[in-house]
Amino acid sequence: MSDPVSQLRGAVTETAEGLAGNGKVAAPKLDRPPRADFGDYSTNAAMLLAPTLGEPPRVIAERLGEALGERLGQSVEKVEIAGPGFLNLFMADAWYLDSLAGMREAGEGFGSGGAAPAERVNVEFVSANPTGPLHIGHARNGAYGDALARILGYHGHDVTREFYVNDYGSQV
Run of H or E residues at 42: strand 41-43
Q: What is the pLDDT of residues 70-112, one digit of tens each?
A: 999 999 999 999 989 899 999 999 999 999 998 898 888 787 7
CA distances from 163 to 105, 129, 138, 149, 151 (A): 37, 12, 11, 12, 17
pLDDT below 70 — which residues of the chain? 1, 23, 113-116, 128-131, 164-172
pTM over the 0.75 mark:
no
